[in-house]
Structure 1
Amino acid sequence: MRRHSLPLLATLIPLSLALSACGGSSAADSGTAATAGSGAKVTLSIGDQKGGNESLLKAAGELENLDYTIKWSTFTSGPPLLEAVNAKAVDIGGVGNTPPVFAAAAKSKITVVAATHGSSAGEAILVPKGSTLQSGADLRGKKIAVAQGSSAHFQLIASLEQAGLKPTDVTINFLQPADALAAFNSGSVDAWAVWDPYTSQVLRTGARVLTSGEGLVNGLGFQVAAPAALEDAAKSKVIDDYLKRLQRAQEWVFKHPEEWAKVWAKETGLPYEVALDAVKRSNGTRVPVAVDDAAVVSEQKIADTFTELKLIPGKVVFKDFVDTRFNGNLPPSTTAPRSYGKGS
């Protein structure tokens, strides 16, 4: 496994996925805005990923009756979004479980303020149709594609450890999803560690899951804010309202998976069947939870793992990047994800 010291978050290899995943990529400001009611005095700048929170809030009717303005900026993934938070270009945005660790290691000015807990079934190591690999132990000596610094990267490391392997026992190819998909389809790699909706998309081509993140990774996602926004009383109040709207929208998704899949498919260009698979497997299983001690401990393990692998510089103390003021009466971070039943 190639080892890299990453003093800057920007050194992460870019990802092409514009969904709720976790690796690095370049950002593009969408320039779109959700208009608030007349006389609004506060503008909340929100970092999003395509087919993400803006689409979700629209579908659930949660962008109605706002008394503030939302300026949306679209990013292809978590790390560049957090770069924007650090630069105060964005007040808040949603990412997966690993980008905050890399941002913290880069000494970025970020604060984790909210969390969700969902199924990790969509975090998987996939093998192509016809592969002879049957277990994680069979990965010894094989080539595996993964996006560096992504949640799939941590899931791969955890899966190898569970199989009694070290990262040095395999050849890890750090590839962004588009390149990883091409390598996977051409046979240039033996396996691909990735997340939904890629998991759902590739499974429909005859590929299969070799191992999944269930029981291995924490399934957490986070809303991460700029400290300066939290220090502004008016903006902090607006952030509180925004987080409550997200919580209601997530509840709406669980009750309307097919409707959300249609919206998500339209926004991303995914086939409806793939979007629905991904909603039921992982993206629609999320439960709003507190950023509590258990979440901090779980994230600290991720940070320590990447430190040991020398993929981030120095020690990260994750609790130093957490603000619990918005926890309210949310359930603990260990709350079971939503379930759509066996086989979903």
Structure 2
Amino acid sequence: DGVEIEWVWSAGSNKANEYLRSDAVDLGSTAGSAALLARANGSGIQTVYLYSQPEWSALVAPPGSDITTVEGLAGKKVAATKGTDPYFFLLRSLNEVGLSGNDVEVVNVQHADGKTALENGDVDAWAGLDPYMAQTEIEHGSTLFHRNIDFNSWGFLNARTKFLDEHPAYVTRILVQYERARQWIRDNPDEASAILARDADLSKDVADKELFERTNLDIDPVPGPTQTAVLEEIIPIFEAEDQLQPGADVNQALAELFNTTFIEEAIAQSGAGS
């Protein structure tokens, strides 16, 4: 019917949220934490789909580092991309051991630049993100010294509410294709990894680690209570670390974040599902 899809590359959840807020894209993928923060701070978005349960974030040290625990980060320089899951992973990890963002020097760079800074010795540690994290682990000998899958806030596909109102049929059709792709990857993992390696310019080992070890696609794609519980754990970090704009009602934002209408219709149309 002449509808064209334009894919826009995003360097991180913070960039995807910028594109959504500025109407540069109609749908954008982010971590759950980033989606909630964006809506709380006034972005007119809703989450319409879950595409994965990832372990895409961890804390990373270069080879030979004496940093082996979160406590060891006190007073250190840590690369992180503010407004993204790795940044909130860092803050939650610090909070868990009685530290805060004020106890480290956060070097705010995009994910790929954080990897470079770590490998060049410009920072002591990095709040990492795959595939860059898998790259430095395999190709540079870096160490993931602190992991916690529960501090990773799921893969959210978000849409501008205006787009949802104006083009509901398009949204449903897009989600039908997302569901087909998710199922195809589950059924054809080796071919999927080869495509990921080719299109993202990764080694096959890196693609395999990201896709097979740190990405769970065997999920219910409908956002609901599980994700709400994850995000409720992040809200105190938003508040303690001054992430919210004046007047922001983060609890109301969470209550209004999920719109399951479109994925439920997509599943009904395609017969797909987890």
Instruction: State the TM-score, normalizing by the size of structure 2.
Output: 0.85
Aligned pair partner of 2:48 in 96, 113, 116 = 113
Shift in Å, 1:137: 2.1
322, 336, 344: which is aligned to 2:258?
Answer: 322
Task: Mark the CA change 1:168 to 1:82 in structure 2 (over 3 Å): closer, same or farther.
Answer: closer
Whole-Å separation in 2 of the counterparts to 1:166 and 1:77: 23
Identify the residue that residue 270 of structure 2 maps to in structure 1.
none
Q: Aligned letter for 2:62?
A: P
**CA shift in 2, pair 1:74/1:118, >3 Å:** same
Which residue matches 2:142?
A: 207
Q: Residues of 2 paired with 1:182 and 1:89: CA distance?
A: 28
Contact 2:12 2:84 in 1 (8 A): no
1:97–1:180: structure 2 CA closer, same or farther, 3 Å change rule? same
Distance 1:132 1:79, change over 3 A: closer
User: Does residue 77 of structure 1 match 2:12?
Assistant: yes
TM alignment of 1:67-216, pairs within 5 A:
69-120=4-55, 122-204=56-138, 205-216=140-151
* CA distance, structure 2, for counterparts of residue 329 and residue 117 of structure 1: 19
After TM superposition, the structure 1 stretch with the greater mean CA deviation from structure 2, 194-203 or 159-168, is 159-168
Report deviation, 1:241.
Answer: 2.2
More helix by share: 2
| Other-structure match for 2:221 | 289
Question: 3-state DSSP class of the match of 2:9?
Answer: strand
CA RMSD between the two structures: 2.6
Q: CA deviation at 1:285?
A: 4.0
Of 230, 236, 241, 2:164 maps to 230
List per-residue Cα deviations over 1:205-253 (Å, max 9, x = no partner): 21111101323333x1111112222223xx3122112212212211221
CA contact (8 A) 1:143 1:170 kept: yes
Asked whether the 8 Å contact 2:172–2:266 carries over to 1, the reply is no
Task: Give the AA of the match of 2:237.
Answer: T
Q: Give the AA of the match of 1:206.
A: G
Please state how far the C-alpha of 1:284 moved relative to its aligned partner: 5.4
Instruction: Give the share of equivalent positions with the same residue, in percent.
Output: 24
Q: Return 5+ residue gaps in structure 1 as ranges.
A: 1-39, 44-68, 332-337, 339-344
**Amino acid across the alignment from 1:75:** S
Counting matched residue pairs gives: 263
Deviation at 1:109, TM superposition (A): 1.6
SS of 1:328's equivalent in the other structure is: helix
Preserved CA contact (<8 Å) 1:77 1:95? yes
Q: Cα–Cα, structure 1 residues 84 and 118, in superposed 2: closer, same or farther, change >3 Å?
A: same
CA contact (8 A) 2:13 2:83 kept: no
The one-letter amino acid paired with 2:204 is Y
Q: Secondary structure at the match of 1:289?
A: coil
Instruction: Evaluate the alpha carbon distance shift between residue 84 and residue 129 of structure 1 in structure 2; reply closer, same or farther with a 3 A threshold.
Output: closer
User: Equivalents in 2 of 1:111, 1:291: separation in Å?
Assistant: 11
Distance 2:218 2:85 in 1: 16
Relative distance call for 1:74 and 1:132 in structure 2 (3 A) is: closer
Given that residues 85 and 110 in structure 1 are in contact (C-alpha distance below 8 angstroms), is that contact kept between their aligned partners in structure 2? yes
Letter in 2 for 1:321: L
Question: What amino acid does structure 2 have at the position aligned with 1:140?
Answer: A
Any conservation in 2 of the 1:78–1:95 contact (CA below 8 Å)?
yes
Higher RCO, Cα 8 Å, sep 6+: 2
Which shifted more, 308-317 or 242-251?
Answer: 308-317
Pair 1:76–1:207, CA change in 2 (3 A): closer
Task: Give the 3-state SS of the residue equivalent to 1:74 in structure 2.
Answer: coil
Change (3 A) 1:330 1:119: farther
Preserved contact between residue 62 and residue 118 of structure 2 (Cα < 8 Å): yes
Residue 319 of structure 1 aligns to which amino acid in structure 2?
A: A
Which ranges in structure 2 are unaligned for 5 or more consecutive residues?
Answer: 268-273
- TM-score, normalisation: structure 1: 0.69
